[in-house]
Structure 1
Amino acid sequence: MALLKTIAFLFCMNQLTQAAVTQLGQRECPSNDDYCYRSDVCAYVFTFPANDDETCPGRQDTVTAMSAVRDELNKQESSIHKIADISDGLVDSLSKAKTHLKRHDESLVKSQRYIASVSDTLDQFKDEGRAKSEALEAELTRLKLENEEQQQILANQTRKLVEQREEINSIRDSITITMPDAVCEENWHYYNNHCYNIEQDIKTFRAAEANCQGKDSHLAKVTDIEESHFLTGILGDTDWAWIGLEYKGLSQTGRWEWIDGTQATFFDWVPGEPNNFQGTRENCVHIRMEKDGQWNDWACWGEIKSICEKEAEAAIEDPVEARLSRLERNSAYNNNRLAALADDVAHLKQLITEQGELLQQQSQQLDNQQ
């Protein structure tokens, strides 16, 4: 009986081993009380004899076979667990790859939007560049036309200046003017029927006027720019000299008057004058040669040189001299105008050069962008 049970058990274990290998995890056993579930296998239950003297043939072999089957099943289970771990790892990797691919797609969409924005900005910049280029070309054309006009004006002024100089030289070569000896006293200078003397002794404004009156004259009365230029021509390069102009009345309501009481209508002030420097009442006027012979207001108690003026003893009809003087003044004016025009032309040339360089840079930028 024991032998039969042993043989049946071995047959059962063989079948169960095959079932365990192919159907592991189903946890099912034959519906027979002789089978039971142990350690993930179905085993045949049998009872060994209670009497130890009774022999059980094949028992040791059965135990050994069962151990081998169990070890094999454990190995299979371990392999399956490893495969499950690898599968979980692959699932996790696939999930991460999916997330990374999604982020890549989002980044690609953003890049496409940025490229579209940059393209729109570039198109706008090109349009603005073309507009600026057209505006610069128009401005360059205008400057060139203006430069041509200035060049023509400069040429005309130069021609007129040459003609006037030739006329002056012709008059001087053909006419000799002899001035009467009795027109002005010694050391006095003649101009426009008046005589002028530079008083070298330094005096206050009042003392200078008293000194002039003692010589039958008054401090000089200057009524136009030609007379002012004449006086600067007879003064030293750094002289200060009183003329007969003073401020009469209150600071806000008074007026500038000449020494004879007439109101002044012509002035040749140094820029920024009169100014009552540092709050000082500067009510008298003098010529400052280091300021190009223009006028400055100063305190009347200051002591400097002075210019006396009186009428000439005999009036002189001198149309030639008057004409020469007028031509010389015109020549000086034309010289100044010529210099100003030359400066304007130089400035225009510089502007044209700068505009040309800017236009070239704009064109280069457009070429690079295209």
Structure 2
Amino acid sequence: MSTPDRPPQSEGTYSKLFNDGDSYEQRNRRSQGGSAAYLPFPGSVVHRLRGLGTLRLIIICLAALCAILLISIISMAAQNKNRAQGGGDAVAEVQKQKQGVNVSALVDSINKLQQEKKQLQGEKEELQRAKEEVERAKEEQQKAKEEQQRAKEEQQKAKEEQQKANQELQRANQELQRVNQELQRVNQELQRVNEELQARLAATKAPDVIKPKSTSAPIVCPNSWHLFNSSCYFISRTTRDWPESKSFCESKGAYLAIIHTAEEQTFLWDLLPRGHWNSFWFGLTDEHTEDVWRWVDGTPLVGSSFWEEGEPNNHIDEDCGYIVKTNVLERVATRSWYDAPCDMYLPFICEKYMGPGASTAIPH
């Protein structure tokens, strides 16, 4: 380090020291090279030693000054550093606080956004459901429209069919009117012809002839046959199913019994033997049409009938009628008809009409 404030006296001191030194070395060499030793003057030696101590003192002072300056610089740098660190900590603390505030604000914002997201998601789902409902409503409306169109087409077809039917009916009425007119014409013609015939018969009328009164012979039934009014009845002792019983009666010139009156029913009932469950076929069936009962001659069952209460019930395909006279239950003649499957084997009742116009063949 340079010391520009150093006085010029110091420079002279340095130069004097160096000059004195040279003289000392020269004198020392001269003394060594001479014959006799050369001893310096004690006062000059003390002067040199004092100059050397002053130099050292100056160097030490300079070194101390440098040390002090260095310590001052270091101290100032440390203080500045501490100040900087203190300011940085404060700034960091402020920044940290600001960051904390920002983080809280961000968390709140995130929560609000999540809530808004959920709300928007719910609204989206509601809109989606509403959209689906609208789509279903559109489909239902389309289906209803198609159904309405089909109904309209069906109505149009029905209207056309009705018009056709009306036209056919009109044609039929016209044809019926034509036929009625033709019938009237024919009736008039027949009436005219009848009048002519009446006139001709009146002109050619023969004398009246006295006819003798007819006498009818009494009805006689064969053995094992029983007479009631104009019919003979046969009570079988063998069993057959209903079709075979019908065939057997027809082979005798008769038929399975047809019962029209309570008197006839009571007469037959009294002929039947009473037993545990005595049953007898007679001529009634609904084998062709269920619940439409007909006699074997094809006539329908009308007027009086003598079914037991709850009969006929068609329990197991029961299409043929029979009479029951039993000891098991109390029965009366006019409540003794039942229906049963026609393939059951039972005894039966045949009837042969013997009145006017009947066959003269006698059952056997």
Q: Normalising by structure 2, what TM-score?
A: 0.35
Structure number having the greater strand percentage: 1
Task: Name which structure has the greater RCO, CA cutoff 8 Å, separation 6+.
Answer: 1
Computing the radius of gyration from Cα coordinates, the structure with the larger value is 2
TM-score under structure 1 length normalisation:
0.34
